[in-house]
Structure 1
Amino acid sequence: MEVRHSVHPEDVKRLTTEELRERFLIQGLFQPDEIKMVYSHVDRMIAGSACPIKPLALSVGRELGVSYFLERRELGIINIGGAGVVQVDGVQYKLDSTDALYVGMGAQEIIFTSDDTQKPAKFYLNSAPAHTTYPTVKIERKSITPAHLGSIQSSNERNIYKYIEPNTVKSCQLVMGMTVLEPGNMWNSMPCHTHDRRMEVYLYFNLPEEAAMFHFMGEPTQTRHIVLKNEEAVISPSWSIHAGVATSCYTFIWGMAGENQTFDDMDHVAMQDLR
């Protein structure tokens, strides 16, 4: 498991492009037959992936100091690849592409498999500390009524699918969902916001291989950018904006953890205040 430490906003002002990428960008996800995990000290969020050719079991290292991964954590999983199965303590949950699974604290055995090894599942993972156990729940994308926001005039027409949040699936602090941009739209989360009470992780996918994603971060008056490619993620501390634009439309998964689970708890930033 790779460990990333917290970064003070004053320090970000002096970071080079390479240093920004080292601290906030997550690359190398969805490698065949590999579970990749990045542990962030920002609200102790873990982001990672599992891409099984043969069955892959979720294990735990000394970074967590526990006997099994979900001893004191909860887990959100969204599949962005071919169909697959997540087995939780012997119970199998079949996840088609863009289906999700919430796994509550206390589950001891998590095994990932793909239905077709030529088109393997790509399980994206977010995990946050938990204080109580909530039931494991499968969430199908087709069962969610999305919120339709934005317009083609502002290049941000999009559908927001809330997978794990208080009105749908109960969790301790993890909130997780997916935003799908309509064709011809390129901007997300703009006008932008911060939320000092929660951190966030974005995974960008469904980008053409030749496309580039420009993710904007930093304090509103000290913005920086990181260039991402398809199926890469970025860590957003609570003090940072998190917005982006790409050379093509795309989809992204957002995962949050922190003081509350109120989706609309945002500190909006006026466009004229951005620097």
Structure 2
Amino acid sequence: MTKTVIKGFVKHDRQIYAETARILRPSGQNIIAWIAENPNIIGVGHVKARKLYDRFGPDLINLIEQREIPALTTVVTEESAQLICHAFQQHNVGEVLLWLDQMGINRSIGQKVISCYGDQARDKVESNPYLLISFEAKWKIVDGLARNRFGVSENDHRRLEAAVEEALYRGLSKGHTCLPETNLRQAVNRLLLKKDLVDQALALGDSTQYRKVSDRYQPAGTYIIESQVAQRLHEIIEGENASQGSIFQTGAPSHESVESAIEQYEQAQGFELSLEQKQAVQCSVTSKASLILAVREPAKQLS
């Protein structure tokens, strides 16, 4: 315990000295999951994959890549050992799996990263650790990994951009396809905890991960979807082709001709459509684009 006096205030610092230390090996959860869940490795589930890792630890990757079948058959059958070696050779992800475990990246996230980037996963994540957010990783975990393992500074543009992206994803999970700048600023502040960093983040402008439209921000995926929907509706309203104008073979239908068709249908079926149903038919037949809302009436209580 040390004591320091600063401007009349006493500051106590406790220093801890380690007497022993030992290196903990990675959990192996990514390696185990990849072996157990690979459809090409028949006969090896989570139990046997765990036994393999418990037996050899991180050296398991080297044994597989060197095709040390005799060693592997102390745990699994020769056929399974051959399948494991072939799968690793085919996908070339052994070192990536080991690296994911060394970084402490969650198994479910690690498997998604492998599925997306394959043997390029390590390079992708090291170039921008915040890519993990796209795979549903938690901000606190990713930010801690980026700051502590990869040395990302608090004002790094990758971190600032990712904070905006994360805030927009959180809004999307609550049903908001975009956020006004005021709301976004509050959300980003809860992640970065410093106003000047929030100002820097929003000053970055557009990125590959989000778009700014007027005073609102959207995740890139949502922006693309809504833009495509808007374009599609515009094309429909303008009339895509000659056949779209009418479902009748004898030119564009009039209001009277649609009513006549409805009456014939009612007579043939033996029941009458409601007023709302008739209006829906009129709208659908006479318009190039129509929007029909079905409103469910509240259930009546039984007395």
Query: Smaller-chain TM-score range?
Result: under 0.3
Higher strand share: 1
Structure (1 or 2) with the larger CA radius of gyration: 2
Q: Which has the higher contact order (CA 8 A, sep 6+)?
A: 1
Higher helix share: 2
Q: State TM-score, norm by structure 1.
A: 0.21
